[in-house]
């Protein structure tokens, strides 16, 4: 059982989690929205397993698993930030956005009461969702860097940075541990770029292989072996993580060069040009998911969503290395403005597509997507007429 929900029976404060759940029809809508959108970027749950557990959770008359209740409350805390009523027959009252603060607080208190010994996967699922819910609701945003650092430290203490195939026989659990470790790393690296601070990942070696490019329906808890991964050109729910892993070493190296001392450094222009070339190659290697290659609006929406987030995490590296050279009087660095200008010709239209498709609010998960758009817009406005 992925959620290990039988370990705790609700009592005292734990009962509060269940009492805070909205009516079932509204909860269903917000949980589904989270699953369909956010789980395409940060993979935290195995969706068929979660849906099976959620169905049992809905009909159970016994005391519910508090870990599952926490997962549900945090999922709807994230979805409550977005107007999903236009996409469903069940309207979502705006009051639930203000209730999200209470949901997050209660789940965070429940998390702090859990033992630090023998932490299960569910601990990290809840921990990551607490962080993402805070980010979506802009709660204590000044400590986001500390939050992700704390998550990575705990994960290292529990050995998530080590190849799970060494001591985990079950293919399902191996894959889940890979997914969780990947999410933690990506969140912490993003914080490094957002705040210009170092990450513990700069000094930690990990031998965890990239998760397989598979849909969740391709394997389950009973699987004795994983099927062969699908080609990277084929879109799956794991596509974002699979493609992110290809540029991971490069992005981590750039972060180390810029922020490892705690003081943002300016790279030599030769290094800037070299890294720009390498990042551009990574961008060109992304599948053309911004093109309508599938039928149906939802399919196209999810392709654009995944492509935009992959593209943005590479573009933020280009912005970070070129930023010290932008708007200098010395014509020697005209290439920096030129490069960033051309980045804007791709990022801004993608941002517009996200808005048209009704998923613009997901940029709160990656604040740098919005910041990149603002920076690039400013660069465009400063361009000379010639």
**pLDDT-based confidence at 146, cuts 50/70/90?**
very high
pLDDT in the model for residue 358: 53
Sign of CA dihedral 219, 107, 146, 190: positive
pLDDT, tens only, 361-380? 445 555 545 555 555 555 55
Joined tokens for residue 350: 């993608």
Contacting residues for 228 by C-beta, under 8 A, at least 6 apart? none
Q: CA-CA distance, 287 to 223, in Å (whole number)?
A: 29
**Better-scored residue on pLDDT, 295 or 128:** 128
pLDDT in the model for residue 8: 45
**pLDDT-based confidence at 3, cuts 50/70/90?**
very low
| Burial degree of 255 (CB within 10 A; 0-12, 13-18, 19+) | buried
Q: Considering the chain, what is the average pLDDT of its residues? A: 82
pLDDT, tens only, 85-137? 445 556 677 778 889 999 999 999 999 999 888 899 999 999 999 999 998 88
**DSSP letter for each residue of 321-350:** HHGGGTT-S-GGGHHHHHHHHHHHHHHHHH
Sign of CA dihedral 126, 214, 193, 366: negative
**Number of alpha carbons in the 13 Å side-chain half-sphere of residue 11:** 3
**pLDDT-based confidence at 307, cuts 50/70/90?**
confident
Q: CA-CA distance, 60 to 336, in Å (whole number)?
A: 59
Q: Could you write out the three-class secondary structure of 189-224?
A: HHHHHHHCCCCHHHHCCCCCCCCCCCCHHHCCCCCC
| Burial degree of 326 (CB within 10 A; 0-12, 13-18, 19+) | middle
pLDDT in the model for residue 177: 95
Q: CA-CA distance, 311 to 305, in Å (whole number)?
A: 10
SS3 helix, strand, coil % of the chain, rounded to 5? 65, 0, 35
| Burial degree of 296 (CB within 10 A; 0-12, 13-18, 19+) | exposed
DSSP 139: -
Q: CA-CA distance, 280 to 362, in Å (whole number)?
A: 25
pLDDT in the model for residue 90: 60
Residue range 44-48: average pLDDT?
A: 96
304 alpha carbon, distance to own chain's centre: 15
**pLDDT-based confidence at 49, cuts 50/70/90?**
very high
Contact 310, 286 (CB under 8 A): yes
pLDDT, tens only, 340-363? 777 766 666 666 666 555 555 445
Other CB atoms within 10 Å distance of the CB of residue 227? 12
Contacting residues for 67 by C-beta, under 8 A, at least 6 apart? 3, 4, 5, 7, 8, 122, 126
Residue range 223-227: average pLDDT?
A: 92
**Better-scored residue on pLDDT, 89 or 19:** 19
pLDDT in the model for residue 142: 85
Cα distances (Å, whole numbers) of residue 34 to 37, 201, 230:
5, 28, 24
Contact 112, 60 (CB under 8 A): no
**Full-model pTM:** 0.87
CB pairs under 8 A, 24+ apart, for 224-233? 224/171, 225/171, 226/171, 226/175, 232/287, 233/287
């Amino acid at each position: 059982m992925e959620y290990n929900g039988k370990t705790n029976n609700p009592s005292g404060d734990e009962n509060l989690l269940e009492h805070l759940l909205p009516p079932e029809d509204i909860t269903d809508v917000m949980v589904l929205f989270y699953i369909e959108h956010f789980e395409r970027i940060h993979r935290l749950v195995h969706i068929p397993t979660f849906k099976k557990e959620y169905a049992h959770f809905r009909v159970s008359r016994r005391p519910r698993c508090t870990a599952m209740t926490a997962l549900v409350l945090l999922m709807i805390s994230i979805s409550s930030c977005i107007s999903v009523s236009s996409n469903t027959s069940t309207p979502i009252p705006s009051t639930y956005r203000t209730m999200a603060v209470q949901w997050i607080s209660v789940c965070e208190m429940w998390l702090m009461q859990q033992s630090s010994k023998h932490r299960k996967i569910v601990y990290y699922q809840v921990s990551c969702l607490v962080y993402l819910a805070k980010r979506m609701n802009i709660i204590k945003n000044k400590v986001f860097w500390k939050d992700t650092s704390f998550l990575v430290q705990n994960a290292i203490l529990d050995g998530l940075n080590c190849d799970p195939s060494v001591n985990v026989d079950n293919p399902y659990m191996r894959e889940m541990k890979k997914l969780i470790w990947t999410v933690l790393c990506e969140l912490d690296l993003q914080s490094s770029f957002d705040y210009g601070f170092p990450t513990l990942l700069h000094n930690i070696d990990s031998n965890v292989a990239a998760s397989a490019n598979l849909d969740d329906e391709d394997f389950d808890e009973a699987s004795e072996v994983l099927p062969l991964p699908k080609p990277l050109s084929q879109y799956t729910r794991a596509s974002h993580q699979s493609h992110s892993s290809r540029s991971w070493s490069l992005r981590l190296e750039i972060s180390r060069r810029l922020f490892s001392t705690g003081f943002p450094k300016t790279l030599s222009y030769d290094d800037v040009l070299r890294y720009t070339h390498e990042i551009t190659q990574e961008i060109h290697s992304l599948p053309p998911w911004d093109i309508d290659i599938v039928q149906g609006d939802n399919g196209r929406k999810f392709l654009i969503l995944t492509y935009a987030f992959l593209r943005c995490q590479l573009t933020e590296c280009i912005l970070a290395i070129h930023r010290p050279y932008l708007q200098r009087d010395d014509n020697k660095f005209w290439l920096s403005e030129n490069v960033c200008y051309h980045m804007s010709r791709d990022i801004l239209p993608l941002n517009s597509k996200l808005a048209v498709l009704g998923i613009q609010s997901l940029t709160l998960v990656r604040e740098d997507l919005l910041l990149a758009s603002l920076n690039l817009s400013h660069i465009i406005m400063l361009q000379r007429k010639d």
